[in-house]
Amino acid sequence: MATATAHHDAHPTGITRWLFTTNHKDIGTLYLVFSLFMFFVGGTMALIIRAELFEPGLQITNPHFYNQMLTLHALVMIFGVIMPAFVGFANWQLPMMLGAPDMALPRMNNWSFWILPFAFTLLLSTVFMQDQGGGPAGGWTMYPPLAIQGGIGTDFTILSIHMMGISSVLGAINVIATILNMRAPGMTLMKMPLFVWTWLITAFLLIGAMPVLAGAVTMLLTDRHFGTHFFDAAGGGDPVLFQHVFWFFGHPEVYILILPAFGIISQVIPTFSRKPLFGYNSMVYATASIAFLSHVVWAHHMFTVGMPVAGELFFMYATMLIAVPTGVKIFNWIATMWRGALTFETPMLFAIAFVILFTIGGLSGLMLAIVPADFQYQDTYFVVAHFHYVLVTGAIVAIFAGAYFWLPKWTGHMYNERLGKWHFWLTMIGMNLTFFPMHFLGLAGMQRRVPDYALQFTDFNQWASVGAFIFGFSQLLFVILVIQAVRGGKRATAQVWEGAEGLEWTLSSPPPYHSFATPPVVK
Amino acid sequence: MCVVRSQSRRGVLSRLISGITLAAVPVLAAADYQLNLPPPVSYIARRILDLHNLIFIICVVIFVIVFGFMFYAMVVHRKSRGHKPATFHDNMTFEVVWTVIPFLILVGMAIPSTATLIEMTDVSKADMTVKITGYQWKWKYDYPDQDLSFFSSLSTPRDQIEGKAQKGEYYLHEVDNPVVLPVGKKVRFLMTGNDVIHSWWVPQLGIKTDAIPGFINETWTNIDQPGVYRGVCAELCGKDHGFMPIVVNAVSQEEFDKWVVAQKQKASSDAASAGKTWTRDELMAKGKQVFQTCAACHGPNGEGIGPFPKLAGSKIATGPLKDHLNIVLHGKPGTAMQAFGTQMNDVDLAAVITYERNSFGNKTGDVVQPAQVKAAR
Amino acid sequence: MASAHGSYYLPNPSPWPIVTSASLFLLALGTVLTINGIKLGPWLMLLGALGIIAMMTSWFGQVIGESESGAYNAQVDRSFRWGMAWFIFSEVMFFAAFFGALFYVRMFAVDWIGSNDILWPNFDPTWPTAGPKGPMPIAPGSIPGPNQFTPMGAWGIPALNTLILLSSGATVTWAHWGLLKDNRAQLITGLFLTVALGISFIGFQAYEYVHAYTELGLTLKTGIYGTTFFMLTGFHGFHVTMGTIMLIVILLRALKGHFRPDHHFGFEAVAWYWHFVDVVWLFLFIFVYWL
Ligand code: HEA
Ligand code: HEA
Ligand code: CUA
Ligand SMILES: [Cu+2]
């Protein structure tokens, strides 16, 4: 296997270091900083939503603006926060975990990052065009014919989604090439850390799903401007066609948003249990089965569109099946903790919270999969509760677990553990207060995507709004903590955590510029 | 129905406290907060509620057992208690067990779900049919057997929404013309959309079905007790998606028949008034009322918002009458502007066009008669 | 595994990626403005497109230079191969979305519209159709009157184009054999023939479009039939054009003496791409033109 060319290394400093970089760590940092920034952008929109929903009646937004906030909130959080955060982790960790000098295609790596700020400029600029109709207002799912009515903002959104798609596909290609081609001698596939495995599978999902989304929004664009009839019954098309194509992307997408999280948790739990991961092989197979099943369940988002019964039954059964491999993962994590020697540093706290709270979201997902019951849940706050439990208390919490876990490795300094614990507990209180009551709101009859509601929903909405502000503002603690750790603090050792195992912990903290200039040998 | 709360202004703190109490004593709190689906009033809604409760309980049991183990480990197997880590990392038996058991549980859940689903989709042998069409942002109900048809839209005054008036008991859950259905009869619904996708949802009937333009979805209900049941549009359909509720008035067959007769009389008296010539003041007064519909997009003072154009000073509303009639009657395909010719009668159209041409600073002085509208159709 | 040059090539920091992203941004912005009738739009599009072309030339130029100077070892070559293979797969999925749309309307949507007597009485759902409000299809060969259209037949130009693309697949493989044997003449002849076939395919396709628009009454707006026909064949035609440009580049490089029997990823990438375009066409021929 190859060593790296030390080849007249140029290290530009200042701004060009970041603009022109081909280094996986710099690009990883760019992704992570971008993601954190966008978290506040998307979060501010969420807070606008929650402020409007604090009381019945219209107070701070008009309905059209509310719909824009709702749509942009979701697009920013999904494409601007969670996905870039995971790619950031992948950039930092994959070469280090595999024993490689860098990612396989470094220039393309930089390209996939730099598309994102431009794509989001395009998307977010629509907020400043209120006179031309403002931003996209049809929900992140952009169902036609509503999306066809939208103003120029919808076109901005479509093109920016094309750009995000290019970025994700390029990123995924890079990940696959790195994992398949850059492993150190002896690092067989079944020896790779689980985080690497989950990313490999996620990358396949990305390449399978993002182009389909591009296809869906392209159809929307041509229906809007070029007179095609994909979604128009008068011309022989069908609005529901869009939903099929969209969810063929959309459902794999939600696993794109959770599989790397599973990977992070599978690194953190063994470390703080001081015990090897239980059932490595079954973890790999479970991840692969989830990815496979995710392609045949898409229509569970469309149970009320009037599908033939056979279709509804098929999609119900397939969806329910996903509980089996996901359950295997939950049980394996618990078995890893079983009879370990547990300690509860911040990463472990977040990881444990992930397992518990993700399961709540997973179980509500299972309830949604039951077709007759879904007729009552569909498009209510019960669904909103479900997906925030898997996305916020799932993906976001896992991202925090990973960030705390690797921060000492990346910066070379220990973070402030006390501040970390505060951040953890405030986050827990805030997020559960926000999202738990939404289950009840949905059951009681509150539909989603409305700026105003009937009086009997007031109390739970007020809790949720209070919780959202607690949750939102406690994230500032995390920013402070990261800045502190970058600036200085107790020096981190190479291994950092007592129970940590794997190649990345054999490198110094912070690691050298080219992670493994000579490949290590894995026995 | 649901517990209606007056608009009391309790402090945030007291809410937090009541929240903690709620978590601690769910039974007590249930009196105050609705935590589950509303009481069902049809066979299907009851089946759904039972299914929901069953699945929910299974999930809670799974959750408690699984995390029982985890909490045990968290308490007992900690390093601070001196616990030494074991080294096992595999156990075939356990792995097979926790793959097979969940699978069996799922099979157990799938059986009643399948049965209920099949019952829900059986629309045969209906006693009567109602066709429901979703519009931005109101519902149209057609009774083909009774030869009746009317629109139903939100009746909550704007002042309540904007916080300028005390909100009423059924805030946002009230309409001008409720849909009336007989109890004890199997009613088949044909659902479609006029412009975008809407979804007709009345929780207590256990019905939610998308109303998709160009397609018809079928569903049914058989209500077993008289009463007023409220629901909402459940598919994002644009700006006023949150403001297109549904009110079902379930009555006995006799009352239903009486209602049908009364509706027909109203319709024929409306038709009579279309023939006469209206004065400008009459038209303006009526137009102002009809404009409520248009105000949803064009704003109460014709000021427009976002993609919806201003009518104040608009080229069309102040230009030739022909173009104005044309856009209102036939709409503009591909935009939210609908063909109101199919929705409103000649009188309403004449009134609203007159109103638009002489309000918000528009001063054409035109008076449009129903006969002119009829001619332009 | 020891490689020829010993180490994995790690490129220096490079301005191309970010400038390409900026050009992409201009192209996207220009597109939005253009389709909304804003004057600035086309200029921005042009600027963006030129930027992308310029960047591609410089960026690929640099890669070619590095490759020819022997900077890439076998492992780098493999990274490129994985990259290209999965890029092509992503394209497959893009086409899958449109084929999926075609199958969905043909198998479900059109039938549902046909069985819906309340909203669409008297609509005959047999394919090809332009929907209940679209023009009526008439038999191939006849001249359409107003509100009629003639669906595209399979056995004229499309069959010829099938033949052309299949032979071009053969010629590019023959060129590859030449390269492997280090027979430059065969390489160059093979590539030249492939390019020529590619261009004639595009020519026939363009002729077919003109024919459809001017004589068959068949346009992008002709209901769902016109929509799926032009979107699928259009995206395919776009890919053939891209592929032909790539082939021309490869031909020029071959003329300059690039590629060695054991080191010619650039050639293979283009050949793979060309085969992919070929296979998509076969599906198009079967499902869009023939059945
Ligand atoms: C990270 C994202 C993520 C994840 C992981 C999931 C996971 C799941 N989701 Fe979710 N979902 C979303 C994100 C996600 N979802 C989003 C964003 C939407 C809304 C989109 C929109 O409309 O805007 C949505 C909506 C959604 C719907 C549509 C609801 C509607 O609109 O009517 C459905 C329906 O079936 C569903 C089901 C499921 C299921 C069955 C899982 C399963 O994968 C869960 C599996 C996990 C478990 C079951 C728990 C652990 C298992 C055990 C402890 C084993 C034992 C358990 C049993 C035997 C029961 N989801
Ligand atoms: C990855 C996904 C993700 C994440 C992380 C979140 C995070 C949050 N979401 Fe989101 N949400 C979605 C994905 C996500 N959401 C999706 C897909 C939808 C569906 C959209 C649709 O229907 O189309 C949705 C819809 C949605 C709704 C439903 C709206 C409706 O249907 O009408 C609500 C309502 O409460 C909500 C709330 C929140 C809140 C309170 C958070 C909180 O976690 C946010 C926490 C807040 C912060 C982190 C902000 C911190 C900011 C500050 C402290 C300000 C400081 C300022 C500066 C420094 C400048 N979301
Ligand atoms: Cu109609 Cu929402
Ligand atoms: Cu899903």
ipTM of the complex as predicted: 0.91
What pLDDT does B29 receive? Answer: 43
Chain B residues touching residue A456 (CB < 8 angstroms) = 2-5, 34
The residues, any chain, with a CB within 8 Å of residue A288's CB and separated by 6 or more, are A201
Mean pLDDT of A179-202: 93
What percentage of chain A exceeds 70 in pLDDT?
A: 98
Judge if the upstream peptide bond of residue B137 is cis by omega within 30 degrees of 0: yes
Query: Could you tell me how far CA B61 lies from the centroid of its own chain?
Result: 34
Q: What is the mean pLDDT of chain B?
A: 85
Instruction: Name the closest-CA residue to atom 55, ligand 1.
Output: A327
**Residue to substitute from C1, C3, C9, C18, interface A, most A β-carbons within 10 A:** C18
Grouping H, G, I as helix, E, B as strand and the rest as coil, residue A523 is coil
Residue B71 located in a structural domain: yes
The verdict on a CB contact (< 8 Å) between A5 and C71 is yes
Cβ atoms of residues A3 and A518 within 8 Å: yes
CA distance C23 to C56: 11
Mean pLDDT of C162-188: 93
- Whether residue C177 is predicted with pLDDT greater than 90 in this model: the reply is yes
User: Where do runs of H (alpha helix) occur along C69-183?
Assistant: 74-104, 110-114, 157-180
Grouping H, G, I as helix, E, B as strand and the rest as coil, residue A451 is coil
Query: Which residue type, as a one-letter code, is found at position A327?
Result: G
The residues, any chain, with a CB within 8 Å of residue B50's CB and separated by 6 or more, are none
Residue B98 located in a structural domain: yes
Q: Is A498 a catalytic residue?
A: no
Residue A46 located in a structural domain: yes
Q: Is A183 a catalytic residue?
A: no
Structure-token pair, residue B188:
């088949």
Q: How far is CA B160 from CA B157, B166, C24, C52, in A?
A: 6, 6, 48, 55
Instruction: Say if residue B49 is in the same domain as residue B90.
Output: yes
Residue A32 located in a structural domain: yes
The verdict on a CB contact (< 8 Å) between A1 and C21 is no
pLDDT digits (tens, 9 = 90+) for B157-194: 888 998 888 888 899 999 989 999 999 999 999 999 99
Domain final residue pick, B120, B150, B176: B120
Q: Taking CB atoms and a 6 Å cutoff, what residues make up the pocket around ligand 3?
A: B 134, 137, 198, 233, 235-237, 241, 244
Domain final residue pick, B92, B120, B148: B120
- Whether residue A160 is predicted with pLDDT greater than 60 in this model: the reply is yes
What pLDDT does A153 receive? Answer: 92
CA distance C159 to A314: 39
What pLDDT does A488 receive? Answer: 86
Write the DSSP assignment of C45-96 as a string of letters.
Answer: HHHHHHHHHHHHHHHHHHHHHHHHTT---HHHHHHHHHHHHHHHHHHHHHHH
Write the DSSP assignment of A465-484 as a string of letters.
Answer: HHHHHHHHHHHHHHHHHHHH
- Whether residue B308 is predicted with pLDDT greater than 90 in this model: the reply is no
The verdict on a CB contact (< 8 Å) between A236 and C73 is no
- Whether residue B16 is predicted with pLDDT greater than 80 in this model: the reply is no
**CATH number for the domain formed by residue range(s) C1-72:** 1.10.287.70
Residue A364 located in a structural domain: yes
Separation of first and last alpha carbons in chain A: 15
- Domain extent for B182: 128-272
What percentage of chain A exceeds 90 in pLDDT?
A: 85
The verdict on a CB contact (< 8 Å) between B216 and C119 is yes
Q: Positive or negative CA dihedral for A28, A33, A34, A38?
A: positive
What pLDDT does C92 receive? Answer: 96
Number of domains in chain B: 3
Write the DSSP assignment of A258-282 as a string of letters.
Answer: THHHHHHHHHHHHHHHTSPPTTHHH
Mean pLDDT of C20-46: 93
Grouping H, G, I as helix, E, B as strand and the rest as coil, residue A144 is coil
- Whether residue B9 is predicted with pLDDT greater than 60 in this model: the reply is no
Instruction: Say if residue B262 is in the same domain as residue B278.
Output: no
CA distance B114 to A371: 8
pLDDT-derived band of residue B270, with 50, 70 and 90 as boundaries?
Answer: confident
Place of tokens 């894995």: A522
Grouping H, G, I as helix, E, B as strand and the rest as coil, residue A124 is helix
Domain final residue pick, B68, B96, B120: B120
pLDDT digits (tens, 9 = 90+) for C122-142: 888 888 899 898 898 888 777
Instruction: Say if residue B292 is in the same domain as residue B217.
Output: no
Query: Which residue type, as a one-letter code, is found at position A90?
Result: A
- Whether residue B333 is predicted with pLDDT greater than 80 in this model: the reply is no
Q: Picking from A250-259, A419-428, A492-501, B211-220, which range would have the lowest pLDDT averaged per residue?
A: A492-501
Place of tokens 């001063």: B363
Mean pLDDT of A86-99: 95
Instruction: Say if residue B136 is in the same domain as residue B234.
Output: yes
Q: What subunits make at least 3 CB pairs under 8 angstroms with C?
A: A, B
Residue B280 located in a structural domain: yes
Query: Which residue type, as a one-letter code, is found at position B326?
Result: N
Q: Positive or negative CA dihedral for A313, A314, A317, A318?
A: negative
The residues, any chain, with a CB within 8 Å of residue A322's CB and separated by 6 or more, are A290, A293, A294, A297
Q: Is A329 a catalytic residue?
A: yes
Residue A367 CB-half CA count within 13 A: 31
Task: With residue B246 as reference, give the H or E element that holds it.
Answer: strand B246-251
Query: Which residue type, as a one-letter code, is found at position A52?
Result: E
What pLDDT does B27 receive? Answer: 42
Q: How many CB atoms lie within 10 A of CB B92?
A: 9
What pLDDT does A91 receive? Answer: 95
Cβ atoms of residues A396 and A82 within 8 Å: yes
Q: By C-alpha distance, which of B19, B15, B107, B100 is closest to B58? A: B107
Cβ atoms of residues B209 and B164 within 8 Å: no
Instruction: Say if residue B179 is in the same domain as residue B240.
Output: yes
Task: Classify C6 in phi/psi space as left (phi over 0), alpha (psi -120 to 50) or beta.
Answer: left
The verdict on a CB contact (< 8 Å) between C28 and A4 is no
Mean pLDDT of A383-404: 96
Domain containing residue B173: CATH number = 2.60.40.420
Task: With residue C7 as reference, give the H or E element that holds it.
Answer: strand C7-8
Mean pLDDT of B336-357: 85
Q: Is A253 a catalytic residue?
A: yes
Q: Is A199 a catalytic residue?
A: no
Residue B31 located in a structural domain: no
Number of domains in chain A: 1
Tell me if A44 CB under 6 Å of ligand 2.
yes
Residue A427 located in a structural domain: yes
Q: How many CB atoms lie within 10 A of CB B244?
A: 24
Residue A520 located in a structural domain: no
Chain A residues touching residue B220 (CB < 8 angstroms) = none
Q: Positive or negative CA dihedral for B272, B275, B281, B283?
A: positive
What pLDDT does B25 receive? Answer: 45
Angle at A233 between CA A230 and CA A234, to 5 degrees: 110
pLDDT digits (tens, 9 = 90+) for A327-357: 999 999 999 999 999 999 999 999 999 999 9
Shortest-distance atom of ligand 3 to CA B232: 2
Q: Picking from A82-91, C7-16, C241-250, which range would have the lowest pLDDT averaged per residue?
A: C7-16
Residue A421 located in a structural domain: yes
Q: By C-alpha distance, which of A266, A146, A192 is closest to B193? A: A146
What pLDDT does A9 receive? Answer: 57
Instruction: Say if residue B141 is in the same domain as residue B235.
Output: yes
Structure-token pair, residue B345:
């009668």
Structure-token pair, residue C209:
């479009």
- Whether residue A481 is predicted with pLDDT greater than 50 in this model: the reply is yes
B149 DSSP β-pair partners: B142
Residue with the bigger pLDDT between B346 and A455: it is A455
CA distance B208 to B191: 10
Mean pLDDT of B8-18: 43
Q: How far is A256 from chain B (nearest CA, A)?
A: 23
Write the DSSP assignment of A156-190 as a string of letters.
Answer: HHHHHHHHHHHHHHHHHHHHHHHHHH-PPTT--GG
What pLDDT does B32 receive? Answer: 54
What pLDDT does A38 receive? Answer: 97
Residue A8 located in a structural domain: no
The residues, any chain, with a CB within 8 Å of residue B202's CB and separated by 6 or more, are B229, B230, B231, B246, B248
Question: Residues for chain C: how many in total?
Answer: 291
Q: What is the mean pLDDT of chain A?
A: 93
Domain containing residue A277: CATH number = 1.20.210.10
Strands C148-149, C136-137: pairing is parallel
C residues 43-62 lying closer than 8 A (beta carbon) to A: 59
Judge if the upstream peptide bond of residue A101 is cis by omega within 30 degrees of 0: no
Q: Which residues surround ligand 4, an ion (CB under 5 A)?
A: A 251
- Domain extent for A179: 24-506
Residue with the bigger pLDDT between B88 and A374: it is A374
CA distance B250 to B240: 26
pLDDT-derived band of residue C71, with 50, 70 and 90 as boundaries?
Answer: confident
Instruction: Name the closest-CA residue to atom 1, ligand 3.
Output: B198
- pTM for the whole structure: 0.92
- Whether residue C230 is predicted with pLDDT greater than 90 in this model: the reply is yes
Instruction: Say if residue B242 is in the same domain as residue B313.
Output: no
User: In the CATH hierarchy, which top-level class contains the domain C73-290?
Assistant: mainly alpha
- Whether residue A217 is predicted with pLDDT greater than 90 in this model: the reply is yes
Domain containing residue B110: CATH number = 1.10.287.90
Q: What are phi and psi of A3, to 5 degrees?
A: -95, 170
